[in-house]
Structure 1
Amino acid sequence: MANPNKRKGTAWESAVRDYLNRFLGLVDADGTFLDPMDGRNIRRAAQEGARDVGDVHAAPFILECKDVEKSAVPKWLRQARIEAVHAHFPYGVVVHKTRGSGVAAGRVHFDVPTWTRVRSALGLHPREAAELYGVTVSARGLGTGRWYATVTLERFAVLLADVRAGVSRAVR
Structure 2
Amino acid sequence: MRNYMNKALGLVNEFGKFVDIFSALNVRRPAQEGAADVGDVHAVPFILECKNVKSPAVPTFLRQAEVEARHAGFPYGVAVVKVPRMNVRRGKVHFTVRTWTRVRRALGLTTQQMRDAYGFAVSLRGLDSGKWYLTTDVEAFTRLVADMRKGRSY
Are residues 1:66 and 2:48 paired? Answer: no
Which residue does 1:77 correspond to in 2? 62
Q: Which has the higher contact order (CA 8 A, sep 6+)?
A: 2
2:65 is paired with a residue of what secondary structure? Answer: helix
Number of the residue aligned with 1:108: 93
TM-score normalised by structure 2 residue count? 0.97
Indicate the SS of the match to 2:123. strand
Q: What SS is found at the alignment partner of 1:127? A: helix
**Letter aligned with residue 4 of structure 2:** Y
Which residue of 130, 139, 146 maps to 2:115?
A: 130
Query: What residue in structure 1 maps to residue 14 of structure 2?
Result: 29
| 1:43 match: secondary structure | coil
Q: Distance in 1 between matches of 2:105 and 2:71?
A: 23
Find out whether 1:44 has 2:33 as its counterpart: no
| 2:4 is the counterpart of 1:19 | yes
Aligned residues: 153
RMSD over aligned CA atoms reads: 1.1
Aligned to 1:44, what secondary structure does the other structure show?
coil
Look up the equivalent residue of 1:64 and give its one-letter code.
E
Per-residue deviation, 1:30 = 1.3
> Within 1, Cα distance between the matches of 2:131 and 2:100?
13
Q: Does 1:56 align with 2:41?
A: yes
Cα displacement (A) at 1:166: 1.1
Match of 2:76 among 88, 91, 94: 91
Task: Select which of 146, 153, 166 maps to 2:138.
Answer: 153
- Hey, what does 1:13 align to over in structure 2? none
Cα separation, 2, equivalents of 1:122 and 1:34: 26
CA–CA distance in 2 between the matches of 1:165 and 1:141?
37
| Structure 1 residue 127 displacement after superposition | 1.0
Could you list the per-position Cα deviations for residues 52-76 of structure 1 after superposition, in whole angstroms to 9, with x for gaps in the alignment?
0000000100000001111100000
**Deviation, structure 1 residue 120:** 0.5
Instruction: State how far apart, in whole Å, the 1-side matches of 2:30 and 2:126 are.
Output: 34
Q: Structure 1: which 5+ residue stretches go unaligned?
A: 1-15, 168-172
